Amino acid sequence: MGCKASEKPKVSYKRGLWSPDEDQKLRDFILKHGHGCWSSVPARAGLQRNGKSCRLRWINYLRPGLKHSDFTPEEEGIVMKLHTILGNKWSQIAMHLPGRTDNEVKNHWNTHLKKKLVKNETSSSHASMTKSLESDNQCPKLEKLIDENSSQISLTESTDSLKSVSPTPCQSIHVTNHAPFPKVLFADWLPMFSGNDQSSSASESDTVNCQLESTLNPEVLSPKLLQFDTKFTEVFLHGFEDASIYGGFKLQFEPVEQIFGFHDQADTGLELNHDMFVNL
């Protein structure tokens, strides 16, 4: 890491919301040159922003392939599941949601999902169980396992230590905690459309970018991704009013490999997720 001192801009940085003009400058610059050293980007791109701000703007808003549509119930279900397992590891949760950023997931959780969860808690006689999942500290051994074994965790009812500590849906969770796919660096995908005519219209360019992102994200290629067990989502989104539902409720996760299609990325083909082309 590191950046040449000579590249560091010495300007008073602008703050606050980005204007369309600033967005365009940043987008044009990165698509043309890559970001390289972020701290040098604003000066080279003609922006009165600091590098960190540029990086955030690019990652959270300008980066190709991002969705800007509302979260689908399926996506909300995924967030709920993963939050149960991972806690506030927004970046890790976002990895499982193509086109979503950690910031977006975090905001959606804080503004929508948390409220729904609280609502469900108050409407359920089993609130304490759900609440135990909400708290990051309620499943300490799980957290420890995740931390200590970042490659994979597998929890079953035969795990005595966990059984004694947390007789919750944790028991039936089987998680592969490795990143579902490697983070896509700019350098990885920029060359793929370096031949793209820079004079192309924005829409054409965006389509290319989008297709590119889709190609690089195995999850996007896997229609199975969002075809996960909807039981959790239904219960979560609609509450526990139906005691019979809750009575038989437990997290019956498919192995995440099945949910997300991690294992066999090669057979995912090139079928593109329609959502990737929305709102770009």
Give the residues lining the site for DNA (CB under 7 A): 1-3, 5, 8, 14-18, 35-39, 49, 51-53, 55-57, 60-61, 68, 70, 88-92, 102-104, 106-108, 110-112, 115
Q: Which residue's structure tokens are 């967005």?
A: 23
Of 49 and 159, which has the nearer Cβ to DNA? 49
Of 50 and 130, which has the nearer Cβ to DNA? 50
* Shortest distance, position 36 Cβ to DNA, whole Å: 7
Instruction: Return d(Cα 99, Cα 194) in angstroms, integer.
Output: 22
Of 42 and 218, which has the nearer Cβ to DNA? 42
Instruction: Return d(Cα 233, Cα 180) in angstroms, integer.
Output: 21
* Shortest distance, position 79 Cβ to DNA, whole Å: 12
Of 67 and 168, which has the nearer Cβ to DNA? 67
* Shortest distance, position 103 Cβ to DNA, whole Å: 5
Of 91 and 268, which has the nearer Cβ to DNA? 91
* Shortest distance, position 117 Cβ to DNA, whole Å: 13
* Shortest distance, position 215 Cβ to DNA, whole Å: 20
Of 67 and 249, which has the nearer Cβ to DNA? 67
* Shortest distance, position 274 Cβ to DNA, whole Å: 20
